[in-house]
Amino acid sequence: MKRAALYLRHSIADLNPETQPAELREFAMARGYEIVVEYVDHGVNGARVRRPALDRMLQDAAQDKFDALFVLSCDRLARDAKHFLHVVEDLNRLGMRFLSLQEGIDTDGPAGAAIVLVVSALNGLDKALKVERIRAGMRRAQLEGRRIGRAPLNVDHASLIRDRLAGMSLSAVARKYGLSRSSVVRFVQGDTAAQSPAR
């Protein structure tokens, strides 16, 4: 008998959480699977990559505790394409079948492999478009004369370095000049390096 695992994620907004497992059980059994384990994340945001039941499911998959994973819909497994693809590729690598009831996805056979490739391509396209949008925005900002990145700190470097070298504590210097402790260290180290003779 083929062994099925169900992954269920109940959000806080789910009015009838029992609907999900009932539909999935029927879906799996109609395909000749025996349900051996159910993984349930209650009230966990789907955008989170780490979830207790999801993590446990992936660990059990690596230990060959089931043959196929059934979900009600892909967004119950993962909200973004990158995470979804990562999970499905992990399952494929382990020889596990992935089935989603609502989208009709089944990774078994050539059609299933094609689905994974399409999702992967779309994920790559989405990344490329995001990068290009960021670059276009930066180019536009430069043409309009707007600053890109943080504004330079308006600090009296000489006074800061004198205070620090005179023995004022790192925290006191940071408070006085409105900086972080790490910024104070960078200023002092930069000045020390600049004054060091070249070898």
Q: Mind listing the pLDDT tens digit of every residue in the chain (199 residues)?
A: 899 999 998 775 554 556 678 888 999 999 999 999 999 988 777 667 788 899 999 999 999 999 999 998 888 888 777 788 888 888 888 989 999 888 888 888 777 767 767 766 665 656 666 777 788 878 887 787 776 665 556 778 788 888 888 989 989 988 988 888 888 888 788 755 555 554 4
Which pair of structure tokens corresponds to residue 97? Answer: 């079948």
Active-site residue list: 11
Do residue 102 and residue 170 come from a single domain?
no
Do 73 and 163 belong together in one domain? Answer: no
> What is the pLDDT at residue 108?
83
The Cα–Cα gap between 22 and 16 comes to: 11
Residue 164 within any structural domain of the chain: yes
Contact 76, 8 (CB under 8 A): yes
Q: Is residue 122 part of a domain?
A: no
Domain annotation covers residue 169: yes
Decide if 26 contacts 101 (C-beta within 8 A).
no
Can you give the pTM of this predicted structure?
0.57
Q: Are residues 99 and 180 in the same domain?
A: no
Query: In this structure, are 93 and 161 located in the same domain?
Result: no
**Is 126 domain-assigned?**
no
DSSP tag of 11: -
Verify that 68 and 8 share a domain, yes or no: yes
Q: Which residues contact 167 (CB under 8 A, 6 or more apart)?
A: none
18 and 89 co-located in one domain: yes
Structure token pair of residue 7: 């992954």
Instruction: Kindly report the number of other CB atoms within 10 A of residue 158's CB atom.
Output: 9
- pLDDT of amino acid 199: 44
98 and 181 in a single domain? The answer is no
Distances (CA, A) of 191 to 1, 14, 160, 165, 176: 72, 59, 11, 11, 19
Inside any domain, residue 112: no
Number of domains in the chain: 2
Structural domain boundaries enclosing 177:
157-194
> Would you state the pLDDT for residue 12?
59
Same domain, yes or no, for 102 and 161? no
